[in-house]
Structure 1
């Protein structure tokens, strides 16, 4: 009897210590993400605003995505406090995450339509259509938030987890479909330049990669392991990295940026190869002298 009580007490103490360690890591990483994000985000938004053109509206969706990331970063600051302010931060965070997911789908959809259905896309006034779609994406979280608050306040946590997990899971097949469809269209097209091809494919791959890596832990937590503390910690940490990861989309929107990055990578690889070959030559020389 006493041994069972001791074991139970040790288990509770172990879970509490684990929780405290997770909270410390989460707090440090959150402030680091907020600091980096709030410094780089305004610069990226200003740079992207100059890329918006009549026939290139992808920056509009990325700008709105980065704005939702700014809201998310501000909400993370509020979440470090207690009481009513923390509750407001929680609502802002949920709002920004839902909007962020919507804009990622819009980015992939815009690239897909521009490549697979170019004539139809250009005759539909893409700028006005993009602004209307952005308004819809910003409005959707306003309907989701009250529903989630009702479920949580009534103790329907499992229902909330299931609905949240399904909402996060739905964009994944869409992103895969847009990427595969775009790749097929580009493989059959001879009018798209190689540099533009790399930018389009790179942006779609980046969107899918960010979504899969950073939101898949949350999907697993909501639908598979809703009581697992470690899964919850990983899900929270990865989802908070989303604003930083979104900044890399700028590379695939600015002309010449992809080639510059590719050139730097090739130079680094060439230098490493030369260094390795020179090391082998030195070894051979030493062996010969011996």
Structure 2
């Protein structure tokens, strides 16, 4: 299962990265956090390959990629919130220097915390330290909830934002929340519980293997053309259903009158 998921996930991640760099060459904007998120997926794939030969080193590399993935998901969620809630502040703060500083902080934290677990210090209790450091990954959970609720509230007063853009931003926030809740929380729970129950272990493996695939969906959602077409198709289906219901209602109301005539 591990090799099958890597056989599909690694080429898919590389294809998406090539598509992003082609998008950048066409001057369509640079999705900095999405690019770094995909790099964290590549690090997880490398860690899984090394894990088959060197367990501790492979797990450390996977943990680095996992923390970076969560960190850049936080950046994506915060960016979507600021676009709606603080548009003027975000517009003036959005520059290359800010991106470099934020990405540097995320990668530094992602590198330092896993290395601390394996420091050769005699007084350090590795299981306890691993539990404490893994608990850091739980901190984004209330933050994701705050960004989702804050974005929905801010969208109600954002009259200048088109309806399609509102749906796209809310969809991205919901997907980020679902990815973290359904894939990353089971992984964090497994590391914190440190139990080798077969069901929990299998759930841990499935979530670990699927997390890079879920990150590619964020890139798809950031593509405005794709999401607009998808939402438009949903709206057209809903409109057609409403038209069918209204036509049936009119037929049922006109039928008794025709019989009396």
TM-score using structure 1 length: 0.73
2:19 match: 47
- Do 1:161 and 1:226's aligned partners in 2 also have CA atoms closer than 8 Å? no
- Do 1:198 and 1:258's aligned partners in 2 also have CA atoms closer than 8 Å? no
Which stretches of structure 1, 4 residues or longer, exceed 4 Å deviation after superposition?
50-57, 151-155, 263-271
1:226 match: 194
Superposed, 1:55-74 pairs within 5 Å as: 59-74=31-46
Question: Deviation of residue 150 (structure 1)?
Answer: 3.3
CA distance in 1, matches of 2:228, 2:122: 52
Going from structure 1 to structure 2, the CA distance change for 1:261 and 1:127 (only over 3 Å counts) comes to same
Question: Deviation of residue 179 (structure 1)?
Answer: 1.0
Instruction: Please point out which of 76, 95, 102 is paired with 1:107.
Output: 76
SS at match of 1:227: coil
Question: Deviation of residue 66 (structure 1)?
Answer: 0.4
TM-score using structure 2 length: 0.80
2:6 match: 34
What is the aligned-residue RMSD (CA, Å)? 2.9
2:207 match: 238
What residue ranges of structure 1 are gaps of 5+ in the alignment?
1-28, 275-290
What is the number of equivalent residue pairs in this alignment? 239
Matched, 1:139 2:108: yes
- Do 1:51 and 1:254's aligned partners in 2 also have CA atoms closer than 8 Å? no
Q: Which moved more, 1:147-156 or 1:235-244?
A: 147-156
- Do 2:84 and 2:154's aligned partners in 1 also have CA atoms closer than 8 Å? yes
Instruction: Please point out which of 110, 130, 148 is paired with 1:179.
Output: 148
Deviations 1:157-192 (A, max 9, x none): 541342144112111001111111111111111111
CA distance in 2, matches of 1:114, 1:51: 21
CA distance in 2, matches of 1:202, 1:127: 26
Q: Which moved more, 1:241-250 or 1:123-132?
A: 123-132
SS at match of 1:190: coil
Going from structure 1 to structure 2, the CA distance change for 1:155 and 1:128 (only over 3 Å counts) comes to closer
